[in-house]
Chains A and B, each alone.
Chain A
Amino acid sequence: MSEELKNKAKELLTNKKVDLIIGYQRAADGVLAAPCFIDSQDDAEKLIWDSYCVYNLASYLKDFPAKRKGIVVKVCDLKSITVLLQENQVKREELLIIAASCPGVIDEKRLNPLDQQAQEIVFAGKCKTCKTITPAYYDILINEPQKNDKLSEIGQDEYEPVRKLEAKSIEERFKFWESEFSRCIRCYACRQICPLCYCPKCVAEQITPGYFSKGVNLEGNLSWNITRAMHLAGRCIDCGECERACPVGIPLRDINKKIEKEIKELFKYEAGLSVEQKPLLSCFDKSDPEDFIK
């Protein structure tokens, strides 16, 4: 598949169909992958495509305004491009979407940091319940889409971790999250890696007024994490990058998935389904539930 990708990339660059291609290359350690930006056909040799290509490259689109960008995407990443189009952050005519058939990607956190050799692949949580095989749209499709049959165990509940937490008492839930958030160092890797966190100046950085404490403490960390989650409500497409990027292992996907589950149940809304869709919080239904309102 990497060969097919390289050839396509060379063709696109030679024919000046794109100014650059955002893709993956092998990282310096020789095992993992790293993002790369290819603007000459010679460099196209660097491109790779395999289960180590974890990154959602859509985050880089904003770095190249007004350029024609080829971008290698997985099925899940594509949805974030849909949201970016919906929110007028990229122009479709500047995009050439190279959809790569995705066998599932690794869970980086499961790699033993001491082991210097290639290790057995453990798939990321999001891949285990991913049922989508064919990308909704693309310009170029690399290889026939097929799914690793170890994955997508039909019937596996993608909200299982969420439900487990829901089943706990409110005190237990608070203790759990208090302990998780206590590790947050406010490095904002979760925000920076997120393709949908593109605000010119995040509310977390604003000072007049400051919306919540910049201090690394319970109130500051809780406020930041709630704000991040709220700002992704109806937008998060579960690429899982926030959780992967978090150096201290906060289960951010479990928060995103909770909101995803609620809005599906309460408002029949799913993020990233179409460009024309109205944003969840810019619309309403007169019959939205309100049982908690007095």
Chain B
Amino acid sequence: MKIGVFVCHCGTNIAATVDVEKAAKAALNLAKVKFSTTYKYMCSSPGQALIKDAIKEKGLDRIVVCACSPSLHEKTFRECLKESGINPYLLEIANIREHCSWVHRDRETATRKAIEIMKLAVTKVTHNRPLEKTHMPIEKRVLVIGGGISGIQSAIDISFAKFPVVIVEREASIGGRMARFDKTFPTLDCAACILTPKMVTVAQNKYVTLHTYAEIEEVTGHVGDFKVKIRKKARFVDTSKCTGCGACWNKCPAKVASEFDLGLCKRTAIYTPFPQAVPNIPVIDRENCLYLKSKKCGLCQKVCPFGAINYQMQDEIIEEKFGAIIVATGFTQFDHSVYGEYGYGKYRDVITGLHFERMANSSGPTGGKIIRPSDGKVARDVVFIQCVGSRDEQKGVSYCSRLCCMYTAKHALLLKEHNPDSQAYVFYIDIRAAGKNYEEFVKKVQNEYGAVYLRGRVSRIFEKGGKLIVRGADTLSGAQIEIKADLVVLAVGLIAQNDAAKLAQMLHIPYDQNNLFTEAHPKLAPVETITSGVFLTGACQSPKDIPDTVATASAASVKALGLLVQDQLEKEPLVARVDKNLCSGCQACIKACSFNAIETKEVEDRALKRKRTVAEVIEGVCSGCGNCTAVCRMSAIDLEGFSNRQIMEEIEVL
């Protein structure tokens, strides 16, 4: 072994405080160091040429560069080694600038320390091994979990690049929350008008497969090779025969509250959630179908001209492989019944923003009339209350739900448009209208639509004389306020889906105390997760409005496509490795790995003459954090580039 040590002056950055010549000379006293020299700027072209020449002339096979932090030029010098025909991982950087010359003033002290840092690097490089980047095949298909606007957008983007994509949506139709909206802020586009074409696009796209009324059952494998079991719930309607003619739901006698319309109207037991459903094929709700419950009725089967109704249908589990997964499972609404001051959810005329949205919608349950659900009278005085469940650590969640300020403003505007005689009152804590044309929109609602904004909280709502008495404070004027309202609309917060944690566990992605999925980095990797190949979009990560949701959907798609366009997956080789002779198979590492990068493998133990189960690292998945190595009691698992031997010897030479 011939180690070369190259000490950089970095102009005067290093040389002013560290005696670089002395350091270079000291290097020659270290075991296996055969050459050392200094240069003004080692990272410059002549500097690199110096290293390359020395490698050639002196036959060096391992290099230590004493210079700046490895975060700056480790890559540069690895490349330099590669060009000289040495494996790029046979390099160590001794950080004698940031960690030495820049933090010490005394020349002697700094020189002594620089030599010690160099000694560490020389010791470490002695045990570096030549490594090659690893390659793994990629299944060139993407799974999108959730068929709301975010999943739809992701699927469209991926299909655009001509890769197959599968959407799994648990409802009977794709469309998600956005399908229930009337207008969108701040432009007041009709939600259906912009969403429906996208829904149709995915439905007709040959690269997109839709599995509606389906759920994820199990996820195994890893990036490039996820194996996913999908439960296709029994629809009791043969999708290949049904044309969506509607004969069945027109005849169905069982009526239940419509989930899509939040109970504002009824639907039948065989139903599509809404008229523009994609696919436009109904499902039979097994809890409420008279035939499935008690073998009575059977009307739908009789009236179906295509014989599409099949009461014997069973759930089906299919298994498919994917290279990447996009999680677009969205959000659900905060349940405001925990608020006693708003009547524990028992007043029929205290509704949520989404109810309002449905009422405002011309194809909605009230045909676009904004009324009091209790008596059907037109709502005139309407109180909007913001931050219900949001920004409330006691009863709700601590975070801001981000969209409520905007949708409340939109509602106040829609109210005026629908009921010109009406008056909107908005109780708020702060107005958060940070978005393009958002502030202007709120101003417009206040100034042109006459919405009265009251800064303060509502202390109580109670019924009196057919009206809702809303008591609250206007903290700006200091006045106590009492409003006789026809309708109260609560801007309830956005929270994670009830089963979000379960899905996160299946995907091995972390989630926070609110069950919102955690991105790999809050700033620099906002749509990635720590599980390589799993990406996040939309409100499953944190509350997002439609533009942000669509943006993250496209971002996640690009990340997924970035994987798919590669011939093979390339991974840094600084990963953990198991010495199967030392491994007891206790699986402590498997249970400790955040990345699910270790699996079990059966091997023949020649000494014991029997089969043994040991751990094995999936190189393509391992992130190289090394946690497993410290968990392993028998030190059977080690980390390339930061091996036990290297660290132990580094300690020894200190």
Point out residues on A near B: beta carbons under 8 Å: 65-66, 87-89, 198-203, 206, 208-211, 231, 278-279, 281-283, 286
B582 at the interface (CB under 8 A from A): yes
> In whole angstroms, what is the CA distance A168 to B591 when docked?
38
Q: How far apart are the CA atoms of A65 and B584 in the complex, in Å?
A: 13
Residues in A whose Cβ lies below 8 Å from that of B644: 209, 211
Task: Answer whether A66 and B610 are a contact pair too, CB < 8 Å, given A199-B633, A203-B634, A209-B645.
Answer: yes
Chain A: minimal CB distance from B641 (Å): 15
What are 8 A-B pairs at a CB distance below 8 A? A88-B587, A88-B613, A198-B584, A199-B634, A200-B581, A201-B581, A211-B635, A211-B644
A286 to B589, CA, bound (A): 19
Dominant secondary structure at the B interface = loop
B585 CB–A CB distance under 8 Å:
yes
Q: Are A203's CB and B584's CB within 8 A?
A: no
CA A87 to CA B591, docked complex, whole Å: 10
| Residues 629-652 of chain B, each 1 if its beta carbon lies under 8 Å from chain A, else 0 | 001011110000000110011000
Q: Nearest Cβ distance between residue A288 and chain B, in whole angstroms?
A: 14
Chain B residue contacts of A210, Cβ below 8 A = 648
**B588 to A281, Cβ gap below 8 A?**
yes
| Cα distance A200–B586 in the bound complex, in angstroms | 11
B582 neighbours in A (Cβ, 8 Å)? 199-201, 206
| Contact of B592 (CB < 8 Å), options: A88, A199, A206, A281 | A281
Beyond A203-B633, A282-B631, whether A208 also contacts B645 by CB under 8 A is yes
Q: Which of B573-593 contact A (CB under 8 A)?
A: 581-589, 591-592
B608 CB-CB contact with A under 8 Å:
yes
- In angstroms, Cα B366 to Cα A185, docked, is 87
Contacts of B610 in A (CB 8 A): 65-66
Chain A contacts of B592 at CB under 8 A?
279, 281-283
Residues in B with CB closer than 8 Å to A206 are 582, 635
State the Cβ distance, B636 to closest chain A Cβ, in Å.
8
Query: What residues on B are CB-neighbors of A203 within 8 Å?
Result: 633-635
**Cα(A250)–Cα(B648), bound, Å:** 28
Chain B: minimal CB distance from A200 (Å): 6
Q: Is the CB of A65 within 8 A of B588?
A: no
Given contacts A88-B585, A209-B648, A211-B635, 10 further A-B contacts (CB under 8 A): A65-B608, A66-B610, A87-B588, A88-B587, A88-B613, A89-B585, A89-B586, A200-B584, A203-B635, A282-B591
In the complex, residue of chain A having the shortest beta-carbon distance to the beta carbon of B590: A282
Known A-B contacts A200-B584, A201-B582; the reply to A279 vs B634 at CB < 8 A is no
Residues of B within 8 A of A200 (CB): 581-584, 634, 636
3 pairs of A and B residues whose beta carbons are closest in the complex:
A282-B591, A282-B592, A199-B634
Nearest Cβ in chain A — how far from B343, in angstroms? 35
A201 touches B634 (CB 8 A): yes
* Chain B residues, CB < 8 A from A278: 591
Q: What are the residues of chain A within 8 A of B636 when measuring CB–CB?
A: 200
CB-defined contacts of B589 to chain A, threshold 8 Å: 282
Distance of A65 Cα from B607 Cα, bound (Å):
13
A198: chain B residues within 8 A (beta carbon): 584
Which residue, A66, A88, A278, has most C-beta atoms of chain B within 10 A?
A88
Chain B hits for A281, CB < 8 A:
588, 592, 631
Enumerate B584-604 residues with CB–CB distance to A below 8 Å. 584-589, 591-592
Chain B residues within 8 Å of A279, by CB: 586, 588, 591-592
Closest to A286 in B: B513
Is A199 within 8 A of B631, CB to CB? Answer: no
| Chain B residue total in the interface (Cβ 8 A) | 24
Which chain A residue shows the least CB distance to B581?
A: A200
A65 vs B589: C-alpha distance when bound (angstroms)? 23
**In the complex, A24 Cα to B304 Cα: how many Å?**
76
The docked-state distance in angstroms from the alpha carbon of A244 to that of B40 is 66
| A203-B634, A211-B635 known; A282-B581 Cβ under 8 A | no
- Chain A nearest CB from B608 CB (Å) reads 7
Residues of chain A within 8 A of B633, CB atoms compared: 199, 203, 231
Whether B635 pairs with A87 at a CB distance below 8 angstroms is no
Bound together, the chains give a CA A268 to CA B175 distance in angstroms of: 45
* Least Cβ–Cβ distance between B502 and chain A, in angstroms: 17
Question: Which residue of B has the minimal Cβ distance to A284?
Answer: B592
- Chain B residues within an 8 Å CB radius of A88: 585-587, 613
Residue of A nearest to B586 (CB): A87
B494 CB, nearest partner CB in chain A, Å: 23
Shortest distance between the CB of B303 and any CB in chain A (Å) = 52
B584: chain A residues within 8 A (beta carbon): 87, 89, 198-200
Instruction: Give the most central of A89, A206, A211, A282: most B CB within 10 Å.
Output: A282
Query: What per-residue 1/0 map shows which CB atoms of B457-469 lie under 8 Å from chain A?
Result: 0000000000000
Q: Using Cβ atoms and an 8 Å threshold, which residues of chain A touch B648? A: 209-211
Q: What separation, in Å, do the CA atoms of A283 and B585 have in the docked complex? A: 17
Among A199, A209, A281, the one with the most B-chain Cβ atoms within 10 Å of its Cβ is A209
**What is the distance, in angstroms, from A230's C-beta to the closest C-beta of chain B?**
8
Question: In the complex, what residues of A have CB within 8 A of residue B585's CB?
Answer: 88-89
Query: A66, A201, A208: which has the most chain B beta carbons within 10 Å?
Result: A201
Mark each residue of chain B from 308 to 333: 1 if its CB lies under 8 Å from any CB of chain A, else 0: 00000000000000000000000000
Within 8 A of A (CB), among B544-591: 581-589, 591
* Complex Cα gap A207–B633 (Å): 15
Give the shortest distance, in Å, between B632 (CB) and chain A (any CB).
9
Residues from chain A with Cβ under 8 Å of B513 in the complex: 286
- Asked whether, in the complex, the Cβ of B591 is within 8 Å of the Cβ of A283, the reply is yes
Chain B residue at smallest Cβ distance from A232: B633
Q: Contacts A65-B610, A88-B613 known; A202 to B588 CB distance under 8 Å?
A: no
A252 and B636 alpha carbons, distance in the complex (Å): 26
Q: How far is the CB of A90 from chain B (nearest CB, A)?
A: 11
Give min CB distance, B145 to chain A, whole Å: 25
- Give the distance to chain A from B204, nearest Cβ to Cβ, in Å: 46
A211 vs B584: C-alpha distance when bound (angstroms): 18
For the complex, what is the distance from the CA of A208 to the CA of B645, rounded to whole Å?
A: 7
Q: How far is the CA of A163 from the CA of B585 in the complex (A)?
A: 36
Nearest to B589 among chain A residues (CB) is: A282
List B contacts of A283 (CB < 8 A).
591-592
Q: Which residues of A contact B587 (CB under 8 A)?
A: 87-88
Closest Cβ–Cβ distance, residue A56 to chain B (whole Å) = 18
Residues of A within 8 A of B581 (CB): 200-201
Least Cβ–Cβ distance between B434 and chain A, in angstroms: 30
Minimum C-beta distance from A66 to chain B (A): 6
Q: Which residues of B contact A282 (CB under 8 A)?
A: 588-589, 591-592, 631
Measured CB to CB, the nearest residue on chain B to A208 is: B645
Contact A209 B588 (CB under 8 A): no
* Cβ of B96 to closest chain A Cβ, rounded Å: 26
Separation in Å of the A220 CB from the closest CB of chain B?
Answer: 15
- Which residues on the B side are within 8 Å of A87 (C-beta)? 584, 586-588
The residues of A that contact B586 with a CB separation of less than 8 Å are 87-89, 279
- Residue of chain B at shortest CB distance from A210: B648
Contact code string B525-546 (vs A, CB < 8 Å = 1, else 0): 0000000000000000000000
Q: How far is the CA of A5 from the CA of B591 in the complex (A)?
A: 39
Chain A residues, CB < 8 A from B631: 281-282
User: CA A137 – CA B608 in complex, angstroms?
Assistant: 30
Q: Which of B56-96 contact A (CB under 8 A)?
A: none
